[in-house]
Amino acid sequence: MDNLSPEVIVVIAVVVVAVFSFFGRKRQPKERMFKCSRCSAVSAHTPRTIEAWRAGKTKFFCNTCHGQWLRSHPPQAHSDRLAYSGRAGNSGCFGVAVLFILLPALFVTAWWAYA
Ligand SMILES: [Zn+2]
């Protein structure tokens, strides 16, 4: 795409902003901090606890207790928890979603630019 017109750049920018605002609308807990249900330490919410909050959980565990919990449970018993326990899992999911939305948009804009 060597003849990028301002219109095409605007369309790409709008698509990117739309994608990010779509993902930015995900629900967040009202409080930024939570009290660990195990050791009562006050910690800031992490992507893991926010995910648990969205799933309807009312008890949250700090990273230390969560790590201990993971070590004391066999991996196959909580494979669904492992799926969203790390940043890598979340960003991978996010990347795939962005790709699925961005690719068709890029095809449309490329077609529009050359038509
Ligand atoms: Zn704790």
Task: Please report the DSSP string for 29-87 in residue order.
Answer: -S-SEEE-TTT--EEE--HHHHHHHHTT------HHHHHHHHHHS-GGGGHHHHHTTSH
Tell me if 65 is assigned to some domain.
yes
- Please tell me the predicted confidence (pLDDT) of residue 85: 54
pTM score > 0.75 for this model?
Answer: no
Q: What is the mean pLDDT of the chain?
A: 82
- Please tell me the predicted confidence (pLDDT) of residue 5: 87
Tell me if 1 is assigned to some domain.
no
CA 57–ligand 1 middle distance (angstroms)? 16
pLDDT digits (tens, 9 = 90+) for 17-43: 888 777 666 788 999 999 999 999 999
Ion ligand 1 — residues with CB < 5 Å: 36, 38-39, 41, 62, 65
C-beta neighbour count of 97 within 10 angstroms? 13
CA 22–ligand 1 middle distance (angstroms)? 32
What is the C-alpha separation between 7 and 11, in angstroms, rounded? 6
Nearest alpha-carbon partner for 46 in 26, 32, 27: 32
Quote the radius of gyration of the chain (alpha carbons, Å): 20
pLDDT digits (tens, 9 = 90+) for 77-102: 555 555 555 555 556 677 777 788 88
Helix (H, G, I), strand (E, B), or coil: what is residue 26? coil
Boundaries of domain holding 109: 6-114
Tell me if 72 is assigned to some domain.
yes
CA 49–ligand 1 middle distance (angstroms)? 12
What is the C-alpha separation between 36 and 44, in angstroms, rounded? 10
Tell me if 40 is assigned to some domain.
yes
73 pLDDT band, cuts 50/70/90, is: confident
What's the structural domain count of the chain?
1
- Please tell me the predicted confidence (pLDDT) of residue 24: 64
